[in-house]
Structure 1
Amino acid sequence: MRPISTRTRLATVSALTALGAFASLGTATAAGPALNGEWAPFTRCPVDAPAMLNADGFDRTPQCVVSSSASGTIKLGDTTVTTGRTNLQMGVVQNADGTSTVVAPASGALVAEPATVPGGLLGLMCPSDIFVITGICESLENSSLNKITATMESVGAPYAFDQTAGALTDLPIVALPVRIHLENPLLGDNCYIGTAADPIVLRPENRNYPEFGMTFFQGDGTVDPAGEMSRINLTGATQNDSTFAVPGATGCGLNVGLINAAVNAKTGLPSAAGNNSVTLNDTQTHLTGLNAPGTVVPDAGKVLAENWHSAVE
């Protein structure tokens, strides 16, 4: 195994640890092509994005990052939902001045399947002192229409990525703007908690240090101790954020605003910072990049993209 400088390891580990902190709902299905060998987790890395392709390997070094969490919880106001597996992927360009630029896939950084909200609509908005809502509540009892699902979605690229915080504990690592899509026939298609203009912004922090591992591989993903690529694996970290605010629900129901009010009243939304929290257990995070990007200046981004495409099965 070739030697790696302390500075390089710190930057890589911190960048990688940070991505393990993102929140999730449901069981993620990571769309994208199947990739060979060590490339396998990086199915949605935005290697063809201009910012990645233009990374020269000297002032700007491109990397791919993927993070998943098997389970956890998220509390929004008075409602707590058990979380399942999620998949978050993005590119990270490490800048010579010590900052990092996050590049999200065109489809969004976070991919997660819906989670079932405990109690369904009955639990979400009943009982209510709104006459029309009371009628809906009575009709929902023992009804299949009661089921409601929630899916967390990215609304814009992550930002404020702090490499140093990613290698430490109890410091904000990155800002992730998200919204939660509530789905049920009576809620309509546009019922959200958070919007692109007023998102929930998660700023996760590490609560413990992950276990560290590293492998080397060829450009096509084949394991090789002398390979031109490296992959860092951080496992077992728990992350948490309890500093974010949650806006009220919008777009819920055909009668605009009526079901919004019932949902917000029952769930305690909007909810100020300090009343909400997200915790992710056993995060699994991987980062890959060229071992010696300086040897392919100014084409590091292009070489990374070529290697990624060569690994597509």
Structure 2
Amino acid sequence: MRSSLFTRTPAGTRPAGALPGRRRRSRALALLAAATGLTTVAAVAPASAAGGPLAPPYAGMDTCPVSSAALKDPANLQVGCVSSTTRGGKFRIGSTTVDLGTPIDLRFGIYWDKSGPGVDLPDGGSANLYRTVAPSSGPLLSAPATEVTIPGIANVIPGITSVRAQVELAGPVTDFAPLAAGTAVPVFRLPVKLHLIHPLLGPRCYLGGDSSPIVLRPAALDAGTVDVQADPNGHQTLIASFADASLTDTTFSVPGAKGCGPLGLGALDPVINGLFHLPSAAGKNAVTFAPTSTSLAFNDSIGDLSASLAEAPRG
């Protein structure tokens, strides 16, 4: 028997139409738990016309990897698509704070495997812990560069007396727990690296890397405005949306610079480390992603999820 679309309990799995047995304190969790009792025999809308990107409620899910082997595994309890956009926020390393380059877009597929992994919540309940799959095309994470003022140096000529920093992915998103929104439990684990861009720093100047990433584990203490709706064409897909949420993390460390200088040989690593006081230990850094809006499409059938996207409105 398939589990509820949104919750896992120690008593085992529940049918997709059943309400969860564990209580939820946050408004987000309460709304999503109630959504599992929704019937999807709503009025059936016409099939979507070909052409153009997917429109709401599936906006941003055009590259959801529904054809991937991971999502097509028949043993999965649930599958889904995620589209998230952050339009503001700050990144602090020690005493240096910069505005994030935005928009920051995240696009990927998710699945809940047959082991039914979950994460404990402060109210005694639990939330599903999903594995992620990279999109069928394009990057999982995309973000523009942002200007960083060099500590102790007046920014007289931007780009010369400052550097640009770009957030890049340094590994897969893991431990995705969207139903932890509204609590202090992290909603995902995101390994990143910061590419420092300046004519004197060469092409490979980074804080963090694939083997030593900056690992962000932000919690969505403010889940924003939560909405749940059924697929407009009568499929079994449910779409959960979190609008204008705020995600924060103060637990990560930042390693020293690597590859900075001509030819990427690291001659200027000590200079960057001295200017930004690197490495910077956990507790001295912080990141805020806000406002962040996220949509998640859930289904217990990859065939029905694929049909939902195929027939979704476009525009």
* Alignment partners' CA distance in 2, 1:268 and 1:228: 52
- For residue 71 of structure 1, report the CA deviation from its aligned partner: 0.8
User: What RMSD in Å do the two structures reach over aligned CA positions?
Assistant: 3.0
* Alignment partners' CA distance in 2, 1:73 and 1:227: 39
Say if 1:11 and 1:163, in contact at 8 Å, map to a contact too. no
SS at match of 1:105: coil
- For residue 193 of structure 1, report the CA deviation from its aligned partner: 0.8
Aligned-residue identity in percent: 30
Partner of 1:284: 293
Partner of 2:302: 301
SS at match of 1:177: strand
- For residue 182 of structure 1, report the CA deviation from its aligned partner: 1.2
Partner of 2:245: 237
Write out aligned runs for 1:2-151 (5 A): 5-7=18-20, 13=32, 34-54=53-73, 56=74, 59-83=76-100, 84-99=102-117, 100-105=130-135, 107-117=138-148, 119=149, 123=150, 142=157, 145-151=160-166
Which has the higher relative contact order, 1 or 2, with Cα contacts under 8 A spaced 6 or more apart?
1
* Alignment partners' CA distance in 2, 1:280 and 1:207: 11
> 1:24-56 deviations in whole A, cap 9, x for unaligned?
xxxxxxxxx7224422221332223220122x3
* Alignment partners' CA distance in 1, 2:159 and 2:78: 52
Partner of 1:251: 259
Of residues 205-214 and 267-276 in structure 1, the stretch that sits farther from structure 2 once superposed is 205-214
Say if 2:81 and 2:298, in contact at 8 Å, map to a contact too. yes
Cα distance change on mapping 1:13 and 1:258 into 2, 3 Å:
farther
Alignment-mate amino acid for residue 182 of structure 1: L
SS at match of 2:272: helix
Q: Which runs of 5+ in 1 are unaligned?
A: 15-32, 128-136, 218-222, 294-299
Partner of 2:209: 195
Say if 1:243 and 1:273, in contact at 8 Å, map to a contact too. yes
SS at match of 1:262: helix
Partner of 2:167: 152
- For residue 304 of structure 1, report the CA deviation from its aligned partner: 2.7
Partner of 1:174: 188
Say if 2:59 and 2:83, in contact at 8 Å, map to a contact too. no
* Alignment partners' CA distance in 1, 2:257 and 2:59: 37
* Alignment partners' CA distance in 2, 1:251 and 1:65: 34
* Alignment partners' CA distance in 2, 1:186 and 1:95: 48
Cα distance change on mapping 1:302 and 1:187 into 2, 3 Å:
farther
- For residue 303 of structure 1, report the CA deviation from its aligned partner: 4.1
Figure out how many residues of one structure are paired with residues of the other and give that number. Answer: 260
Alignment-mate amino acid for residue 146 of structure 2: A
Alignment-mate amino acid for residue 211 of structure 1: T
Question: TM-score under structure 1 normalisation?
Answer: 0.72
- For residue 188 of structure 1, report the CA deviation from its aligned partner: 1.2
Bigger share in helix: 1
- For residue 287 of structure 1, report the CA deviation from its aligned partner: 0.6
- For residue 208 of structure 1, report the CA deviation from its aligned partner: 2.3
Say if 1:237 and 1:281, in contact at 8 Å, map to a contact too. yes
Partner of 1:161: 176
Alignment-mate amino acid for residue 132 of structure 2: V
Cα distance change on mapping 1:98 and 1:11 into 2, 3 Å:
farther
Of residues 93-102 and 269-278 in structure 1, the stretch that sits farther from structure 2 once superposed is 93-102
Question: TM-score under structure 2 normalisation?
Answer: 0.72
* Alignment partners' CA distance in 2, 1:42 and 1:276: 32
SS at match of 1:287: strand
* Alignment partners' CA distance in 1, 2:276 and 2:259: 16
Say if 1:108 and 1:156, in contact at 8 Å, map to a contact too. no
Q: Does 1:260 align with 2:275?
A: no
* Alignment partners' CA distance in 2, 1:279 and 1:71: 8
Say if 2:85 and 2:293, in contact at 8 Å, map to a contact too. yes
Say if 2:176 and 2:187, in contact at 8 Å, map to a contact too. yes
Q: Which runs of 5+ in 2 are unaligned?
A: 1-15, 22-27, 34-51, 118-129
* Alignment partners' CA distance in 2, 1:12 and 1:198: 38
